[in-house]
Amino acid sequence: MLIQSFAFAAAFSAIVAGGLMPVVAAAADRPVKIVALGDSLTAGYNLPASAAFPVKLEKALKAKGNAVEIANAGVSGDTASGGLARLDWSVPDGTDAVIVELGANDMLRGIDPAVTRRALEEIVRRLTERRIPVLLAGMRAIPNLGIEYAQGFETIYSDLAAKYGVLLYPFFLEGIASDAKLNQRDGVHPTAAGIDKVVAGILPKVEELVVRARERRGS
C-alpha cells in the first residue's frame, strides 16, 4: 500500500508539473478579449479601419505591455435599444470584458432618457450576470435640448455605474466635442487625430478594465 501511495503521489506530481500547470499558465497568459459595443463613434465612421477606436485602443494597450484583443462591435446609427437587441451575438461566450459606448444617437434623436436608461441598464445587468467586467462610456447632451433633458440623460451613466459597480468614463468625447480641428465636417464624428485623443483619455480606465478581467478570469 505504501509503495502504491508513493507511486500515486509521483504520478500526480508529474501531471501537475507537466500537464495541468501549463494549461493554467496558458489560460492566464492568453490575451484579454474585449468587445467594444457601440455606435458610429466606435465603428469608426468615415475613417479607415486602422483608425477606428477599437484598433487604436488595442495598439495603445499593447504598447504598454497589455496582451489584449479588441473586437469592433460598433454599428453606425445604433441606439442603446439597438445595442441591447444585438447584445448576445455581439458579445459572444469567451468575452473577458466589454466597453459600452451607446446613447449618443438616442440623445441626437431626442429619445426619452427613460427609454435609453432602461436599455443601457439591461445591457449592464445582463453582462454583470455573465460576470463580464464593464466599462461604461458616458455621453453629454447638446445644449439646445434643454437643462431638463440633459439632467435626465447625463445622469444615466453615473447612476448605472454606481448601481452595478462597473467602471465609468464620464464623457467619451472629452476634449474632442468642442474642438473643430478634431472633428469631421459634420461636427459630430472625430477625425483620426480625434480618436487618438479619445484613446489617450480613456486608456487608464481601460487598463483598470483589463485588471478586472484578469482577476475575474483567475477566480
φ, ψ for residue 210 (rounded to 5)? -60, -40
Cβ partners under 8 Å of residue 4, min gap 6: none
Q: 3 to each of 13, 169, 213, how far by Cα in Å?
A: 15, 61, 44
Residues carrying an active site annotation: 40, 186, 189
Q: Which residue has the cell 439646445?
A: 144
Cα 179 to Cα 190: distance, rounded to the nearest angstrom? 10
Q: Hey, which residues does 216 pair with through a beta bridge?
A: none
